[in-house]
Amino acid sequence: MADVSIRNVTKKFGKTEVIHGISCDIRDGEFIVILGPSGCGKSTLLRLVAGLEEISSGEIAIQSRVVNALEPADRDIAMVFQNYALYPHMTVYKNMAYGLKMRRMAKDEIDRRVRNAARILELSELLDRKPRQLSGGQRQRVAMGRCIVREPKVFLFDEPLSNLDAKLRVQMRLEIRKLHEDLKITSIYVTHDQVEAMTLGDRLVVMDNGYAAQIGSPLDVYERPATMFVAGFIGSPAMNFLKAKVSADGRSAVLSGAVRTQLSEGGLPAWAGQEIILGVRPEHLELNGHPTDGIQLTVDHVELLGADTLVHGRFGEYHTSLVARLPEVHRLQKNAMITFSIPPAKLHPFDPETKKRVAG
């Protein structure tokens, strides 16, 4: 096992910089998830750690040893890709043993490692099968087993579940987390799926156009997003962003021209009288039976999800769009009027110019 240190790393392709001075210290045995949309630089950052791309500036160290100039094979890492990349003519056993055989490892040691990995991944009964005889989830477990047998210092996962169906993704997510808890090997996992990120990671690195927009635990990122990008990317449905004007005393704000809402304790005195963006998650809006107290929403569309209900509508003088998530089933007709209140503690204030979170 090993710690990984990423210090002010940048990457350029020609004159275009795609990774902008990212720094992150990954503790020994920690599971870090690099999360972001397509094109944000998350896979590029992983490839820099792996040595598959050359960094333009900065430093990457594994177990306190700078690896900038080392080939991937010399970094003592193992990588699981989105594509299983199994040898179709080889059995599961031979697929898992092949890399060790190429290193001229003793047959007894190869056998011990392969069978140990097969036991951990519940592949012991499948060692004589070939990839075409396996399900997608089983193939991905074989790809993981091929990495486990190497007993590396660091695991790198590049969207390993993207080719699986929804049910298998849930199963494999649990298996990867259990595997990490058993082996306690430092792991870096890339995904665009926020559910994978929230359930797998000890900490998240949320990427935005080549920058690390926020680094923190899943709950920190969910409860105190550092930017509007992070706030909108984490959570489903996405956070509502509402234009507001803070009152002269800084203790309340007016939404959509007419609707007044209280701000959290202490208010925003530094923003008194100014325009601001207030974010509120759909699940934090509270159904309120008093039409004079809160947001009166005109229903446009309702999504019945079984366990809960998504209500899409608009409110205020400017017909501002809003999405609310309600527990259980609520059968509401189009153009119905319902009222919501916003708990002040659940409001997230952002600077309209910088898009960054502002202090209360």
Find out whether 48 and 77 touch, Cβ atoms under 8 Å. Answer: no
Instruction: Please report the pLDDT score of residue 360 as a whole number.
Output: 64
Instruction: Please report the pLDDT score of residue 75 as a whole number.
Output: 93
Cα–Cα separations (whole angstroms), residue 46 to 49, 54, 154, 271: 5, 11, 12, 40
Instruction: Please report the pLDDT score of residue 18 as a whole number.
Output: 96
Find out whether 252 and 266 touch, Cβ atoms under 8 Å. Answer: no
Those residues of the chain that have pLDDT short of 50 are none
Q: 230: helix, coil or strand?
A: helix
Instruction: Please report the pLDDT score of residue 292 as a whole number.
Output: 54
Distance CA 31, CA 50 (A): 16
Distance CA 211, CA 202 (A): 20
Instruction: Please report the pLDDT score of residue 1 as a whole number.
Output: 63
Distance CA 169, CA 350 (A): 34
Instruction: Please report the pLDDT score of residue 290 as a whole number.
Output: 57
Q: Give the amino acid at 235.
A: G
Name 261's Cβ contacts closer than 8 Å, sequence gap at least 6.
Answer: 244, 252, 253, 254, 255, 278, 295, 342, 344, 347
Name 7's Cβ contacts closer than 8 Å, sequence gap at least 6.
Answer: 23, 58, 59, 60, 61
Going from the N-terminus, what domains does the chain have, and what CATH number goes with each?
4-233 (3.40.50.300), 240-350 (2.40.50.140)
Distance CA 333, CA 292 (A): 21
This prediction's pTM: 0.90
